[in-house]
Every structure is written in C-alpha cells, then in structure tokens.
Amino acid sequence: MAFTATDPIKMIFAVLLPPVGVFLEVGLKGHFWLNILLTLFGFIPGIIHALYVILKH
C-alpha cells in the first residue's frame, strides 16, 4: 500500500514498543496478539514483525 503521513509515527512506536505500533495499524486483531508473543520471546522479533505489518498494510 501507499506510504501514509502517520507511518513514520507508527514506525517509531514499532521500534520503541512494537505492540503499540501494530495496534495503531491493525487494532486488536491477530497480528497484534502475535506481536505481543514475539516481543515476549525476544524484542528484536517483535520489532521486525511490527515493521513488516506497518509496511505491508
């Protein structure tokens, strides 16, 4: 999809608090819960997944 004006803000949240960045993009859907799980297992996988979700949607 196209790059929107709020994407830089979401990417900052994706690096600092990955679930918040995903929440801002998709809400309380499956990607959000997966990101919480990935962030608990390791912070880097949570960041990668968050950036993927933001850039993909």
Domain membership flag for residue 2: no
Asked if the structure places residue 30 within a domain, the reply is: yes
Residue 38 forms part of a structural domain: yes
Is 1 in contact with 10 (CB distance < 8 Å)? no
Tell whether 14 is covered by a domain: yes
- Closest-CA residue to 22 (of 38, 10, 9, 5): 10
- Is 1 a domain residue? no
All residues at 6 or more sequence positions from 8 whose CB lies less than 8 Å from its CB, including other chains? none
Instruction: Report pLDDT for 9.
Output: 92
pTM for the full predicted model: 0.89
Reported confidence tier of residue 51, pLDDT bands at 50, 70, 90: very high
pLDDT bracket for residue 1 (50, 70, 90): low
18 touches 50 (CB < 8 A): yes
What local confidence, expressed as pLDDT, does residue 6 receive? 85
For residue 37, what are the domain limits? 7-56
Give the list of residues 6+ apart from residue 11 with CB closer than 8 angstroms, or none: 21, 51, 54
Determine, yes or no, domain membership for 16.
yes
For the chain, what is the domain count? Answer: 1
Mean pLDDT of 2-6: 81
